[in-house]
Structure formats: C-alpha cells, structure tokens
C-alpha cells in the first residue's frame, strides 16, 4: 500500500521509494530518498492535518517530514511485523 | 584573512552557532545573481578580526533541487578555485546525529577536510546520550569539538581548532562524472545510509532518550480542533499585545521628539528655517519613528515562533486549506512575515519551489497588512473608534478588535485574489510540500535580539533616508509659493497637485487635502501620517501627537471619507521598495506593474463602495 492509504501511528516499512524504477529519478523522488524514504527503512505516520486529512506527518530517520497526499502516494509501504 | 565556511543540514542550530561565533560582527548580503541570503561575519579576538565566516544555507544533500541547495553546492564545488573557503566547519546536531550526518559523509567522501562542531551537546547530555567521540572522530576522519551555541560551551575550543588548521593545505577536490545523477543514484544514497547506521552503531554507548516534550506538545499543536484554535488565538494575542506593549515605548519616543521640537523652536530665530526643521524634519521623521516599537515587536514575535519551531507547524496545519486557495502551505511563512513588511515577505517566498505558486504568493502579499500601515490605521482608528470594551469583556478593547478585523480583511482578500489567480494564471508543474518540522526549541534571546536589531536598523535607515527626503519635499510643496513672506497652504504647490487629482477621488469623499497627502505615500506608506498632519491644521494641545491628530481629522473630514481612507489603505499598492523587490524577484516589469494595477483598482472600487454604503447607512 501507499503511505497515503496506510494506518496512522503504526510502524511501517518502506518497500520501494519510487514505484516506477525504470524512469529517471525526479527532483521530488530524490528529495524523498535523501530524507530517508528508502527501501527497508521503518517509518510511522504521526499526524494527519485537520480539514482535508492531509498533509501527512511522517517520522523517518529521526525527523518529522510533512507530505501532501500526492507526495505520500509516491512511497510504497507495508505494516511492520512485530 | 582566512575564510571559514559554516556548513550543515537544516535545523541543527547552525545560525545560533554563527551568531555565537561572530557576535554582532556580521552583515547580510545576497549571493551573486540569486536572492539567497548570504550571512557573513567575523570572529574577533581582542578587537582584531581573526577569520571571516560565511553561514551557508542549511541543505539536505549535494543533489541540489532547491535554490538554497544550489547556492551551497555551487559555493562548495566552485570550479575555478579549489574551493571558495579555506576551512570548512561542519555543524552536527548531537541530539539527532542520524539525520545530520548525511551531508557530512557526502563531503567526506569527496575529500573535504572538515572541522566538526558537535552542536547541541549539552541538550544531548541532558537526554543521557553517551558517545565515543574519539571513535566518531576516527570514523569521520575529522576533529570533533562538542559545542553548545546556547551556552557558548566549546566555542573557544572550536576557534582554537580553526587556528590549528588555518594553514592546512586544501586537497584537490574532484567531482564525479555527471554529478547530479551520481548524487541521486539509489546505490549511492543507500551506501551513505548504511554508513551512518554502521558508524552510529559503533560510537553510541548510551542511546538518546526520546524527545517526549516535542511529541507531547505536538499532540496539542497539531490537534484537529485545538491546533486550529491555538493558531487563531496566537494571532489575536499577538495583535492585542502589539497595541498594549508598544505604547509605553511609543510614548517615550514621542516625548523625545516633542522635546527636540521645543529646543528647535526656541533656538532657531529664522522663521522659514525653524518651520523646515520643526514641521518638516522633526515632526515628519518623528511621526514615523514613533511606530518603531510596534514594528520591532512584530518581528520579535515572528522570529520567536520561527525559532521555537512553530511556523513550520502552522504551515502543516494550513497546507491543505491554502493549497485550495492556490497557495502552498509554505506560503504561510511569507504571508505571516509580510505582516511585518512586504519586502522580507517577498524575499522569503524563495522557500516555495514551484514558480507559479511563488508568483501568486508574491502578487497577493501586498494585500496582507504590513507594519507600515499600522501608523495610518492607528491614527484613523483612534479618530473613529472609541476605546471601550468589546462584547462586555474588559480585556478586549474595541480598537484592538477593529485592527484585528482590518488584518483579517487583508488576509481574506489575499486568499480570494489568489483563488482567482489560481484559476487564471498559466499552469506549470505540480508543487511540493515535503518539509521537515524541526523539534521544538526554546528561542535564544541572542538570536531574537540580533533579528530585532537588524530590523530596527533597516527601518531607521529607511526612515532616515526616504522619509526624511519625502518629509522635506512635502514641506516644500506645502510651504511654497509664499505670498508676502507668508505661507498659505491653500495656495501651495501641494494644494495645486491635490486639486488636479481631486475630481478623480471626489467619489470617495476626499478633497484636495487628502489627495495631496496620498501622493507621498507611494514612497512609503507611513509618510501619509506626517503628510496629513501638515495638510490638516493640527492644533497644539495638552495631549500627544496622536490624540491631537485624531481630533483634527474628525473635525475636518467626514466620517465616511475617513472610513473610505482606511479601506483605501487595506488594498492600496505597496511602497516603491516593494515594487523594486518584486521587479528583481520576478525579473520582469510586467508583474510589478500588474500588481500595482490590480491593487489600485481594488483600492478605488472598495473605498468608493465603502463611502457610498457608509453615507447611505448613517
């Protein structure tokens, strides 16, 4: 599933940071990757903003990163098995 | 003199360290060709300059996708020289090594010799972090100095290390082929992350305790209901304080200029010269400087919220809403700071990567209420609104509430106009939010003080130059031509100019006195106060300047025309400086002209509607 569909306050593991791995890496994808949205990283959605249920606030490698819905749907995750 | 570059990722306390290192020996300029702020300062010892320091914008990676990143990257990787600094000091955040090491390892891989300042060390200690610093130093191949910008701990040692390495030769730095592709390849990024994990595993003796404070505060600040309420009450609170806190300081400044005026009146015997000094210079400049406390306080609040970590949260809360207005959430910061002044507001739109969104933000910024409008509002509100309690609440005064409403009208119209622009301006590329929210930190008095000092100097320099010149020009226009050595304001040049424009503004209820006072406000808004004080004959009284002025306005103009004047200033085009900055930032004449045209049209139409409605009502 994508971050935008993932449950809140649950540990998630990033599966792939850009679904279309053939294409050139875009600026946006590069920034996501540099912030730690990388296959194998554990992340957690801590908040979703009021009104429109976005942006998403995601904890990744010790930082809090705000993502819009479209940014959040670039990253594929799965719920971490405990 | 050797030059030191201060490098680091965002939110590691780099600027605080820069301030601690350089004290007040600093200045702000732009990087050549772009509008990214370049902060330079000097480290001094016994009054002598030791090193020049450049505070580079904090970046996440050498893969430059934003303007800040490009500037820092270009500075670091300059081709013609080996590099652009003699020493590189890298700032790490001890409370968050995981996130602040990425850029450090990138630079090490390229072969940069680094001196590492392990900043926020005391806070990390408090949170029980134990590090094997020697091992970390070995892993990174660099000297590590634990520092704390807040207390000054380690700063002397850091300077000593700079001295130790000042004469080191810089190695030749070669860039990989096709650098951007290299920096953003998953293999490369993954390699660095693996390195970070490996190094941290080795050197961490006792892990950091979680920052429970930030998480707990975020439960309130980002709460769907409480979060919005906190944001709104914070804004109302700030504007109420602006009026109550600034008053004693403003009174002091007023008393000072009153005293100056008295000395000049008695000391100068020549009639014309006395009039120039007292009416033109002292009253003109003094009438504007009175508002310095309010302006400085507003900048203080904005900087406090920024340093505390709240502004990013405000952007997060507002993003989805703002986006539907055609603005990104990041526009909250420029829009908020443009309440102090449109110029820093327009400059701070650089955080918005998307061209179209940035343009829309810059175009609507003039509609937000800049502090130069405060003097005008203050005088007009004092004249029109009785100082009574609103809604029976003794702490909520009606004038403060009206002021808040004027701010809201400005803000709401900015939103409405940006929706219109969103629908009409050509579409380019999708926008990004992708923003880090820093952990909460108690703002440091030193940083706040430096910002306030900086803003006060800019305002005073502006008052000193533009407003002084304009005050004198207005005085000349109002004093001449003289008849039989006497001035009759009705025959002055100002009156003639005002009369030319009078027919245009008559539908708004204004006569030539008002229109002639409006002309100089193009140079700087606050000037309209001194201009008005010269066209209406303000009687000397027991009360202060503001009270006398307000009385005179109510006596000499109709209520409707004064209300229309307030509305005019809600929308009217910004000062010439705003025009100039917008021209520079958009690199075109088209957009600043467009900005003037649409705000002028709005100002005229809404003032006219207000005047008509007011007269129909009362």
Query: Could you tell me the mean pLDDT of each successive run of 10 residues in chain B, 618 residues long?
Result: 90 87 73 68 88 90 80 77 78 89 92 92 89 92 91 92 88 80 87 92 86 88 91 79 78 89 87 83 76 77 85 86 82 78 76 81 91 83 83 80 89 92 76 81 85 77 72 80 73 84 90 81 72 68 69 85 91 78 82 93 94 89
| Interface list for B 33-72 with A (CB within 8 A) | 60-61, 63, 65
A82 contacts chain B (CB < 8 A): no
Residue B306 is predicted with a pLDDT of 83
- Distance (Å) from the alpha carbon of B436 to chain A's nearest alpha carbon: 4
Q: Are B330 and B352 in contact (CB under 8 A)?
A: yes
Q: Which pLDDT value is given to residue B363?
A: 93
The per-residue pLDDT for B73 is 85
Angle between helices B102-110 and B133-140 (to 10 degrees): 50
> Strand runs (DSSP E) across B1-105, as ranges?
2-8, 26-30, 37-45, 48-55, 87-93
Measure CB to CB from residue A34 to each of B60, B215, B430 and give the nearest one. Answer: B60
Which residues in chain B have their CB less than 8 angstroms from residue A35's CB?
60, 434, 436
With beta carbons under 8 A apart, name residues in chain B contacting A71. 432-434
**Beta bridge partners of residue B114, listed in sequence order:** B88
Token digits for B516? 């002639």
Cβ contacts of B477 within 8 Å, gap of 6 or more: B492, B493, B494, B497, B516
Q: What one-character DSSP code corresponds to residue B385?
A: S
Q: Does B316 touch chain A (CB under 8 A)?
A: yes
Interface membership of B240 toward A (CB under 8 Å): no
Q: At residue A20, does pLDDT exceed 60?
A: no
The answer to whether the beta carbons of residues B582 and B596 sit under 8 Å apart is: no
Q: What is the pLDDT of residue B463?
A: 62
Per DSSP, B513 falls in state H
Residue B65: per-residue pLDDT: 76
Instruction: Tell me if B65 and A27 make a contact (CB, 8 A cut-off).
Output: yes
| Helices marked H in B141-225 | 155-165, 179-183, 186-203, 212-221
Q: Residue B28 CA to chain centroid, in angstroms?
A: 13
Q: What is the spatial distance between Cα B552 and Cα A26, in angstroms, rounded to a whole number?
A: 63
Count Cβ neighbours within 10 Å for each residue of B410-432 and write b for 16 or more, e otherwise: bbebbbebbeebbeeeeeeeebb
Q: Is the pLDDT of residue A38 over 60?
A: yes
Q: Which of A23, A47, A75 to mutate to test the interface with B (most CBs of B within 10 A)?
A: A47
User: Cis before residue B53, ω within 30 degrees of 0?
Assistant: no
pTM over 0.80: no
User: Which candidate in B59, B183, B184 is best for mutational testing of the A interface (most A CBs within 10 A)?
Assistant: B184
Q: How many CB pairs under 8 A join A and B?
A: 110
Q: Which of A34, A36, A67 sits opposite B63 (nearest CB)?
A: A34
Taking a C-beta distance cutoff of 8 angstroms, is the pair B274, B268 a contact? yes
Instruction: State whether residue B135 sits within 8 Å of chain A by CB.
Output: no
- How far is B210 from chain A, CA to nearest CA, in Å? 10
- Beta strand A63-67 with A11-16 is unpaired
Min Cα distance A16 → chain B (Å) is: 11
Q: By C-alpha distance, which of B65, B25, B16 is closest to B47?
A: B25
Give the CA distances from residue B600 to residues B82, B367, B461, B520, in Å, rounded to whole numbers and listed in that order: 52, 11, 27, 15
CB-based contact, B319 to chain A, within 8 Å: yes
Q: Which band of pLDDT confidence, cut at 50, 70 and 90, is reported for residue A22?
A: low
Give A-chain residues touching B434 at CB under 8 angstroms: 28, 31-32, 35, 65-68, 71
Nearest by CB to B433, from A33, A34, A71: name it: A71
Inter-chain contact A30–B63, Cβ cutoff 8 Å?
yes
The encoded tokens of residue B437 equal: 């929210």
- Which residues in chain B are closer than 8 Å to A62, comparing Cβ atoms? 96, 98-99
Among residues A39, A40, A75, which one has the least CA distance to residue A58?
A75
Averaged pLDDT for residues A56-80: 90
Query: With an 8 Å Cβ cutoff, is A47 touching chain B?
Result: yes
More confident residue, B254 or A17: B254
Residue-wise burial string across B291-312, b where 16 or more C-beta atoms lie within 10 A, e elsewhere? bbbbbbbbbbbbbbbbbebbbb
Q: For position B236, what pLDDT does the model report?
A: 74
Residue B40 CA to its chain's centroid (Å): 18
Chain B residues inside the 8 Å CB shell of A66: 312, 315-316, 319, 329, 433-437
Chain B residues whose CB is inside 8 A of the A50 CB are 223-225, 227-228, 317
Q: Does A57 reach chain B within 8 Å, measured CB to CB?
A: yes
Interface check A68 vs B, CB under 8 A = yes
| Partners of residue A36 in chain B, C-beta under 8 Å | 99, 193
Q: Tell me the C-alpha distance between B448 and B391, whole Å.
A: 35
CB contact under 8 Å between B316 and A66, yes or no, is yes
| pLDDT band at residue A57 under the 50/70/90 scheme | very high
Q: Which residues in chain A have their CB less than 8 angstroms from residue B437's CB?
A: 57, 63-66
Q: Which of B116, B212, B196 is nearest to B158 (CA)?
A: B116
DSSP one-letter string for B577-617: HHHHHHHHHHT-SHHHHHHHHHHHHHHHHHHHHHHHHHHHH
Cβ(B193)–Cβ(B29) below 8 Å: no
Please tell me the predicted confidence (pLDDT) of residue B51. 92
Choose, out of B432, B440, B441, the residue to mutate when testing the contact with A (most A CBs < 10 Å). Answer: B432
How many CB atoms lie under 10 A from the CB of residue B198?
11
What interhelical angle do B590-617 and B355-364 show, nearest 10?
40
Q: Do B60 and A35 touch (CB under 8 A)?
A: yes
Residue of B nearest to A41 (CA): B193
Position A63 scores a pLDDT of 87
Partner B contacted by A44 (CB < 8 A): no
Give strand ranges (E) for chain A: 11-16, 42-48, 56-60, 63-67, 76-79
Integer Rg of chain B from CA:
28
Rg of chain A in Å (alpha carbons): 12
Residue of B nearest to A47 (CA): B222
Tokens for B400, please give them.
Answer: 């403060």
B284-B289-B291-B293 Cα dihedral, nearest 10 degrees: -170
CA–CA gap between residue B52 and residue B166 (Å, rounded): 12
Q: Is A46 on the interface with B (CB under 8 A)?
A: yes
Distance from CA of B223 to the nearest CA of A (A): 8
Q: How far is the CA of B435 from the CAs of A6, A32, B14, B315, in angstroms?
A: 20, 10, 18, 9
Rounded CA-CA distance B100/B291 in Å is 42
| Partner-chain contact A57 B222, CB within 8 Å | yes
Cβ contact, residue pair A47, B218, below 8 Å = yes
Q: Which pLDDT score is estimated for B119?
A: 93
* Local structure of A32: helix, strand or coil: helix
Q: Is A9 on the interface with B (CB under 8 A)?
A: no
User: At a CB cut-off of 8 Å and minimum separation 6, what does B513 contact?
Assistant: B495, B498, B535, B536, B556
Q: Which of B197, B89, B98, B198 is nearest to B149 (CA)?
A: B89
Report which DSSP code applies to B94. G
**B485 touches A: beta carbon within 8 Å:** no
Query: Mapping DSSP to helix (H, G, I), strand (E, B) and coil, where does residue B53 land?
Result: strand
d(CA B127, CA B540): 63
Tokens of residue B455, six digits: 């803003």
What angle do helix axes B559-571 and B373-384 make, rounded to 10 degrees?
160
* CB proximity A80 to B under 8 Å: no
Instruction: State whether residue B248 sits within 8 Å of chain A by CB.
Output: no
Contact flag A62-B96 (C-beta cutoff 8 Å): yes
pLDDT reported for residue B537: 64
Q: What SS3 state is found at B238? A: helix
Q: CB distance A61–B98 less than 8 Å? A: yes
Is A16 within 8 Å of chain B by CB?
no
Are A71 and B432 inside 8 Å of each other by CB? yes
């Amino acid at each position: 599933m994508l971050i935008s569909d993932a449950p809140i306050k649950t540990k998630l593991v990033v599966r792939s940071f850009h679904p279309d791995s053939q294409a050139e890496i875009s600026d946006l994808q590069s920034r996501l990757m540099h912030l730690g949205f990388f296959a194998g990283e554990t992340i957690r959605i801590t908040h979703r903003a009021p009104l429109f249920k976005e942006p998403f606030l995601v904890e990744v490698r010790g930082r809090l990163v705000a993502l819009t819905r479209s940014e959040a749907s670039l990253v594929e995750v799965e719920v971490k098995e405990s | 003199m050797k030059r030191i570059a201060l490098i680091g990722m965002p939110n590691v306390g780099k600027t605080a360290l820069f301030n601690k290192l350089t004290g007040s020996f600093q200045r702000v300029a732009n990087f050549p060709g772009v509008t990214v702020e370049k902060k330079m300062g000097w480290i001094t010892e016994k009054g002598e300059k030791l090193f020049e320091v450049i505070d580079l914008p904090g970046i996440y990676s050498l893969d430059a996708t934003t303007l800040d990143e490009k500037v820092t990257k270009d500075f670091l990787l300059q081709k013609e020289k080996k590099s652009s600094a003699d020493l590189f000091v890298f700032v790490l955040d001890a409370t968050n090594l995981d996130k602040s090491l990425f850029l450090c390892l990138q630079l090490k891989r390229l072969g940069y010799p680094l001196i590492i300042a392990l900043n926020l060390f005391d806070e990390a200690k408090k949170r029980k972090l134990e590090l094997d610093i020697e091992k970390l130093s070995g892993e990174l191949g660099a000297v590590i100095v634990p520092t704390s910008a807040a207390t000054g701990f380690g700063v002397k040692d850091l300077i000593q290390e700079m001295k130790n390495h000042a004469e080191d030769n810089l190695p030749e730095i070669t860039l990989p082929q096709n650098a951007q592709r290299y920096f953003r390849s998953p293999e490369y990024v993954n390699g660095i992350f693996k390195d970070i994990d490996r190094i941290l595993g080795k050197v961490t003796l006792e892990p950091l305790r979680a920052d429970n404070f930030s998480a707990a505060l975020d439960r309130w600040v980002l709460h769907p209901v409480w979060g919005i309420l906190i944001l709104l009450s914070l804004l109302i609170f700030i504007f109420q304080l602006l009026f109550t806190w600034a008053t004693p300081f403003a009174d002091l400044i007023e008393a000072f200029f009153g005293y100056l005026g008295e000395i000049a009146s008695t000391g100068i015997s020549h009639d014309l010269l006395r009039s120039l000094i007292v009416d033109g210079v002292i009253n003109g400049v003094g009438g504007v400087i009175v508002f310095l406390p309010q302006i400085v306080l507003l900048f203080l609040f904005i900087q406090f919220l920024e340093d505390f970590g709240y502004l990013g949260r405000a952007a997060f809360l507002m993003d989805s809403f703002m986006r539907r207005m055609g603005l990104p959430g990041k526009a909250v910061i420029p829009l908020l700071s443009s309440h102090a002044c449109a110029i820093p507001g327009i400059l701070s739109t650089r955080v918005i990567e998307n061209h179209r969104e940035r343009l829309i933000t810059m175009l609507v910024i003039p509609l937000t209420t800049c502090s130069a409008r405060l003097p005008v509002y203050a005088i007009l509100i004092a004249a029109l609104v009785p100082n009574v309690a609103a809604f029976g609440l003794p702490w909520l005064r009606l004038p403060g509430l009206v002021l808040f409403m004027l701010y809201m009208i400005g803000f709401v119209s900015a939103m409405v106009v940006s929706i219109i622009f969103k629908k009409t301006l050509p579409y380019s590329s999708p926008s990004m939010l992708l923003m880090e929210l820093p952990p909460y930190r108690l703002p440091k008095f030193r940083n706040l003080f430096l910002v306030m000092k900086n803003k006060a100097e800019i305002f005073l320099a502006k008052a000193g130059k533009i407003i002084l010149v304009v005050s004198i020009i207005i005085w000349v226009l109002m004093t001449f031509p003289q008849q039989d050595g006497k001035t009759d304001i009705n025959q002055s040049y100002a009156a003639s100019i005002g009369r030319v424009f009078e027919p245009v503004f008559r539908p708004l209820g204004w006569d030539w006195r008002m229109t002639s006072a409006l002309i100089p406000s193009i140079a700087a808004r606050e000037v309209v106060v001194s201009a008005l004080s010269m066209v209406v004959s303000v009687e000397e009284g027991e009360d202060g300047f503001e009270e006398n002025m307000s009385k005179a306005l109510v006596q000499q103009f109709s209520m409707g025309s004064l209300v229309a004047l307030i509305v005019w200033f809600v929308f009217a085009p910004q000062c010439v400086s705003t025009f100039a900055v917008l021209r520079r930032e958009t690199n075109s004449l088209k957009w600043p002209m467009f900005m003037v045209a649409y705000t002028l049209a709005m100002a005229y139409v809404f003032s006219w509607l207000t005047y008509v409605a007011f007269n129909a009502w009362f």
